Structure 1
């Protein structure tokens, strides 16, 4: 972060990269989870379109001097849609499973809560930055910190739920 501040006087280019990386990571997780080839192909196409839009937003629409709220909105729409699709398929396929014990289900709850909260948050933050309203800008970042905390807690719960895969025992050569 300090390198970004030294190079650009602020860290907003890192925020742009973070949004793109976060979206691609979530898309990869859902891509790997779904078994339907049509869904997988759709996710790959959406990822390419998202990357093109993110570049357009960062270099032309909003620039690197603002938070990339349009890219964040696109990310939120895509990932929340994938999360809801995952919920639907999980609810249909696992009728007798305790869903609070399914790691990706728990993580998806956190992802949806976080992304639905940050959509409005980043749009409002850009507005407050433009008005040079430090109090409300800091308030937006405080709310963002609470959303990140909730996301982190649900991710931690999901990781705790993951059971280690049994490793095949091999005989060592003597």
Structure 2
């Protein structure tokens, strides 16, 4: 794939912008930290972890480029476990809460199998991303159902976990096919195709970080609820 140099430059600027926008939800999270529930505190800590991983990834690509993808295998595993914990704290169904620890063990086992045997550490862990996306989108949809059945929130756009779950659905539904594409349809040396993947991911990240920022902004505020009949 051949991409004009000017477009590659725009892509790089977009990626840098996405990495800076994360400062907005982080700033709001630390400002409203005393009012944040445990789930959102975990989310804020995860954003800090994400920035650390991005720094380590940059150093890795500079000094050990052959292992550039390995750090993201670790990130995918931690990201999934963090969101499983967030939804464990958020969902109220006893059945689902009992199921989540088992799902965490199964996912961890599959992720290790994928990284060490199925696809290896030198390419994107597409199989793990597919499983991760299906799992987290499903949990987000379960939270939407819980809102409809139990909370009776009038202003959904002001419910922090609704915003987080919307970000989860948008991000993972928008990126899962990209990670499959980068392994199956592009050569490892095709840097242009990989740049497209990273740029599209950065665009989805922009939306995700803005939704996270709104979640931290509304956290701890008095929410309007619909009275029960």
TM range (shorter): 0.7 to 0.9
Is the partner of 1:109 in helix, strand or coil?
A: helix
* TM alignment of 1:79-98, pairs within 5 A: 79-98=136-155
Q: 1:56 to 1:131 in 2, by over 3 A?
A: closer
1:123-165 deviation line (CA, Å, top 9, x unaligned): 1112354263332221121101001111111111101111279
* TM alignment of 1:1-174, pairs within 5 A: 1-5=57-61, 6-7=63-64, 9-130=66-187, 132-163=189-220
Rounded Cα–Cα distance in structure 2 between residues aligned with 1:88 and 1:2: 40
Which sits farther off after the overlay, 96-105 or 61-70? Answer: 96-105
Contact 1:4–1:11 at 8 Å: present in 2 too?
A: yes
Contact 1:102–1:158 at 8 Å: present in 2 too?
A: yes
Rounded Cα–Cα distance in structure 1 between residues aligned with 2:163 and 2:208: 10
TM-score using structure 2 length? 0.67
Q: 1:67 to 1:160 in 2, by over 3 A?
A: same
Rounded Cα–Cα distance in structure 2 between residues aligned with 1:164 and 1:90: 17
Residue correspondences, number: 165
TM-score using structure 1 length? 0.87
Rounded Cα–Cα distance in structure 2 between residues aligned with 1:128 and 1:82: 30
Contact 1:67–1:122 at 8 Å: present in 2 too?
A: yes
Q: 1:2 to 1:148 in 2, by over 3 A?
A: closer
Is the partner of 1:126 in helix, strand or coil?
A: helix
Contact 1:128–1:134 at 8 Å: present in 2 too?
A: no
Contact 1:76–1:119 at 8 Å: present in 2 too?
A: yes
Contact 1:128–1:136 at 8 Å: present in 2 too?
A: no
Rounded Cα–Cα distance in structure 1 between residues aligned with 2:188 and 2:83: 33
Structure 1 residue 99 displacement after superposition:
0.7
- Gapped regions of structure 1 (runs ≥ 5): 166-174
- Gapped regions of structure 2 (runs ≥ 5): 1-56, 223-229
